[in-house]
A and B are shown apart, each in its own frame.
Chain A
């Protein structure tokens, strides 16, 4: 079975530009998580979806960040406008019914210049 698929793998863009990260969860998994990982702060949960509905977005840092899950097989995380401090690795993970364990995608390494 295919794992969690994320795109792009790397993104380099200038400050102020819009960034869109994409995720396809494992088929049959109905819970999806977006994480951000930095050396300073480790893994941080940004938002959690269950059955395509955002359940917990308390980790979204500010209004510049938004996430959608229009269907069971696709989610996006958007940053607009982007800032250098948004530079990090962004992971998407999925599970069945929110129960652990979580399975991670390969991540998107984002660099904002």
Chain B
């Protein structure tokens, strides 16, 4: 059973601090990794994707991938109240080029 695990939270972070969200996956052959943000009552919105080991930066967001340890993380610098949302981690399993295995999401709260 392929799984993606996330801490459900809520994760509470003060405004301006760094929020760190983590995700582990069970399929060692997974190749593609995605972070989606979902505001309450809204649809998932793609924030970052990463394919290679290491860091990928986009503005205030950094995705980190460590395939040997089977984890992927999302860092949000200078957290803003507008970053408060549920963050979903999704992973493409080795035996599929379309399927996504979804984590249950981490609820992030940025406190002013």
Known contacts A43-B88, A101-B34; decide if A48 and B49 are in contact (CB<8 Å).
Answer: no
Chain B, Cβ-Cβ closest to A6: B43
Chain B residues numbered 19-56 whose CB sits less than 8 Å from any CB in chain A: 32, 34, 42-46, 49
Given A55, A91, A102, which contacts B100 in the complex, CB threshold below 8 Å? Answer: A102
Q: How many residues on chain B are close to A (CB under 8 Å)?
A: 18
Q: CB distance A91 to B49 under 8 Å?
A: no
A93 CB to closest chain B CB, in angstroms? 8
* Residues of chain B within 8 A of A54, CB atoms compared: none
**How far, in whole Å, are A81 and B102 apart by their CA atoms in the complex?**
28
Whether A79 is near chain B, meaning CB under 8 Å from some CB there, is no
Known contacts A100-B49, A101-B49; decide if A45 and B43 are in contact (CB<8 Å).
Answer: no
Known contacts A101-B34, A101-B46; decide if A55 and B98 are in contact (CB<8 Å).
Answer: yes
Whether A14 is near chain B, meaning CB under 8 Å from some CB there, is no
Whether B99 is near chain A, meaning CB under 8 Å from some CB there, is yes
Leading 8 A-B pairs by shortest Cβ distance: A98-B98, A104-B43, A43-B102, A101-B46, A42-B104, A107-B43, A104-B44, A106-B43
14 additional contacts (CB under 8 A) given A42-B103, A91-B44, A98-B97: A33-B98, A42-B102, A43-B44, A43-B88, A48-B99, A50-B98, A56-B99, A98-B98, A100-B100, A101-B46, A104-B44, A106-B42, A106-B43, A107-B42
